[in-house]
Structure 1
Amino acid sequence: MTPQSDEDEVWRQIVASFNDTAERDSADQPWPDSENLPPEPTRRVVRPPEEPEPAGHGPYAEPPGPGVDAGDPDDEDEGHYEPPPPPPLPKLDLPTKLAWVALFGGPAYLLVAAMASWQMEGWALFTAVAAFIGGFVALVVRMGDGPPNDSGWDDGAVL
């Protein structure tokens, strides 16, 4: 027999026995002792004896009204994360501001004129549409698509 025919025969046996049940149970499988966990000792939880709660402090008590101390404020803040204040927004230069005004101003003028049923001249329509397109193009052109100047020789994990 050739090595190829041996592989074919082994493959046929694997395919033929695909739906057969396993001969051994998984409990019979050998398990290395190094994988066994040591028996965990039983733990006993000891609770302090419950004291009767004063009126208005039980599980069904109403929440305290305004101006009433509800308890230690440190208990409420435990586990609460307050993020640091965000950095200030970058200052925009004049061309960027004008591009944003044109981007939103053109459609805003068309919307107001349509809602107010104003008679619009051809040059006003052209100006509004041109302002929208020009503002969009200006913002896209000014958008930086390269790495920042201070990135050095290795960009690394840029977020």
Structure 2
Amino acid sequence: MTPQSDEDEVWRQIVASFNDTAERDSADQPWPDSENVPAEPTRRVVKPPEEPSAGPHGPDEPEDATDQRDEGDDDEEAEHFVPPPPPPLPKLDLPTKLAWAALFGGPAYLLVAVMADWHMEGWALFTAVAAFIGGFVALVVRMGDSPPNDSGWDDGARL
């Protein structure tokens, strides 16, 4: 037989047995036993942290003695992270302040005018839209591509 006829015969066998059900026994599985799923899921046991043998009250003090302080508060304070106060916001120059005012002021005027049902002249509508576009363009142009002046020689991450 030629290799082509062997291949055709294999395909015929595959097509003929396409709808057949598997009659394999579970012991004849083609994977190792370590891959089998157990019938009952394994349970994880978490041990509580070990306490010192002297106890929280000291070696010569009985364990049932009352403690004046609340131990839960100390644990929370010890594990609670309080971030440092944020640095102050940078001071903005006048052109940047005007650009932000135009960016938000134009749409805000249009929103108030629509909500109050004001009659808007053509020049007022044009000015509001132009202020929005101009403020956006001014902020993008002032953004710049260079790193900040105080960044130093290394712009990497700080831990």
TM-score (norm 2): 0.53
Residues 158 and 108 of structure 1: CA distance in aligned 2, closer, same or farther (over 3 Å): same
Please name the residue that 1:157 is paired with.
156
CA-to-aligned-CA distance 1:28-49 (integer Å, 9 cap, x gap)? xxxxxxxxxxxxxxxx988789
TM-score (norm 1): 0.53
The CA distance in 2 between the partners of 1:98 and 1:120, in whole Å, is: 23
Matched residue pairs, number? Answer: 108
Give runs of ≥4 in structure 1 deviating > 6 Å: 44-50
The CA distance in 1 between the partners of 2:116 and 2:123, in whole Å, is: 18
The CA distance in 2 between the partners of 1:85 and 1:46, in whole Å, is: 37
For residues 49-60 of structure 1, what are the structure 2 equivalents within 5 Å?
none
1:72 shift after superposition: 7.5
1:158 shift after superposition: 5.8
Pair 1:94-2:119 in alignment: no
Residues 53 and 121 of structure 1: CA distance in aligned 2, closer, same or farther (over 3 Å): farther
1:150 shift after superposition: 4.6
The CA distance in 2 between the partners of 1:52 and 1:158, in whole Å, is: 51
Identity of aligned residues (%): 69
For residues 49-128 of structure 1, what are the structure 2 equivalents within 5 Å?
73-128=73-128
- State the one-letter code of the partner of 2:77: D
1:103 shift after superposition: 0.3
- Whichever structure has more helix as a proportion of its residues is 2
Residues 121 and 81 of structure 1: CA distance in aligned 2, closer, same or farther (over 3 Å): same
1:81 shift after superposition: 1.1
- State the one-letter code of the partner of 1:85: P
Residues 75 and 114 of structure 1: CA distance in aligned 2, closer, same or farther (over 3 Å): same
CA-to-aligned-CA distance 1:96-140 (integer Å, 9 cap, x gap)? 000000000000000000111111000000000000000000000
Pair 1:135-2:135 in alignment: yes
Residues 76 and 147 of structure 1: CA distance in aligned 2, closer, same or farther (over 3 Å): closer
Q: Secondary structure at the match of 1:78?
A: helix
1:75 shift after superposition: 3.7
Q: Note the residue ranges of structure 2 that are not aligned, 5 or more in a row.
A: 1-29, 35-49, 56-61
